[in-house]
Amino acid sequence: MGLEMAKNLIAAGYHLQVYNRTANKANELDASAITKCKTPAEAATDVPVVMSMLADDDVVKKTVTGEHGILASLEKGALHISMSTISPDVAQQLASEHHKTGSHYLAAPVFGRPEAAAAKKLWICVSGTGAAKEKAKPIHEAIGQGVFDFGEGVASANVVKLCGNFLIASAIESLAESLTLAEKNGIDKKAVADMLGKTILACPVYQGYSKQIAEERFEPAGFRLALGLKDITLALQAATAKSVPMPVGSLLRDRWLASIAKGRENLDWTAIALSVAEDAGLKNEGTKNESVRTAGRSAD
């Protein structure tokens, strides 16, 4: 995701100071438009805006507040746009840490897979101060197709992101169950996915994921199964904090957890469909599924 965002920022005329834990990822970017950095602090030096796109709470906190983190060098008045899917509590903590240094923090998680990021089709949710949103506006225009404002409470955008990912996970589970039912009755699940995507479920989530599940395209992962479990867990934690029962969320957590126990954490999160098929007695039906399962184990 971050790589595709960087490409679009370069196309919009920005020069980037880039840092990634896997340094050679930057080799895919135009060398004349970037400065490679060895630490987050180096990437945040002498710039008005820093963007981060990272995997989880712990990585974000270390990247921001660690010894060589963003806040070690971010100037007063500079802005950090955090586009990661993280817990509301961590978002609030980060905003407080930025306030102590005189810098600004904007929560801006996104909806869209890597192909959407490449096509500048991301939907961006923002929460934070009006000044931070205004400063981020041209950057968001360079990477996305629309911005939704959820007020000044900095954690709000992250709550919305968790709500959205919970709904997507629910759709994936329902699609996997429905297509498995069709397959168990001898019906071509690709044809079913095509019909549903053109009629009663004619929206991007159902169209894209139903086709992916029907075709069993679980590699390469657009969004790793392990990250799906992380987001479902965050949604349940946020729900518990506000005494909101989410029984479907508990079912989803267990489905994703079972898939990880089977060694599938590095497959796309739609690979929970393999567990659904196994529950229906369709496991080991064909070499394609078995090869995917083997690939998932060897990626540990």
Structure tokens at 212: 């992916």
Q: Do 190 and 166 meet the contact criterion of CB atoms below 8 Å apart?
A: no
Gyration radius (Cα) of the chain, Å: 20
Query: What's the rounded Cα separation, in Å, for the pair 291 and 173?
Result: 22
Active site residue 161: yes
- Among candidate residues 120, 133, 135, 161, the one labeled active-site is 161
Identify whether 220 is preceded by a cis peptide bond (ω within 30 of 0).
yes
The residue behind tokens 């657009």 is 222
Alpha helix positions (H), 147-246 = 156-184, 189-198, 204-214, 225-241
CB atoms within 10 A of CB 142: 16
CB atoms within 10 A of CB 117: 23
Structure tokens at 175: 């699609």
- The partner residues of 14 in beta bridges, in order of sequence, read none
Query: What's the rounded Cα separation, in Å, for the pair 82 and 125?
Result: 11
Phi, psi of 102, rounded to the nearest 5 degrees? 85, 10
74 secondary structure, DSSP code: P
Query: What's the rounded Cα separation, in Å, for the pair 300 and 175?
Result: 27
Distances (CA, A) of 268 to 15, 209, 221, 222: 32, 11, 4, 6
45 secondary structure, DSSP code: T
Residues marked active site are found at 161
